[in-house]
Amino acid sequence: MSIDINYELLKTVISGLTLISIIIAYLNYRTSNLKRKEDDKALQDKEILNQAVSSLDWGFETLTEGKYEEVPRASRLNWLTAARHIMRYTKLKNLIKTETYKLICAEQEEYWRHKFYVLLDKKELRKLDYYTNKAQPEWPENIELSSAMVINDFANWSDGTIDPLEAVNVDALIRLGKAFDGKCGIGIQSYHREFEKIKLNNEVTGT
The pLDDT of residue 7:
65
* Non-local CB neighbours of 109 within 8 Å, separated by 6+ positions: 56, 93
- Indicate the average pLDDT of the chain: 87
Per-residue pLDDT of 89-134, as tens digits, reads 999 999 999 999 999 999 999 999 999 999 999 999 999 999 998 8
Please provide the DSSP assignment of 100-118 as one string: HHHHHHHHHHHHHHHHHHH
Burial code (b: 16+ CB inside 10 Å, e: under 16) for 113-128 equals bebbeebbeeeebeee
Write down the pTM of the prediction. Answer: 0.73
- CA separation for the pair 37, 196 (Å, rounded): 54
Cα 31 versus chain centre, distance = 30
The pLDDT of residue 149:
97
**DSSP-derived 3-state class of residue 93:** helix
φ/ψ of residue 141, rounded to 5:
-65, 125
Per-residue pLDDT of 44-76, as tens digits, reads 999 999 999 999 999 999 999 999 999 999 999
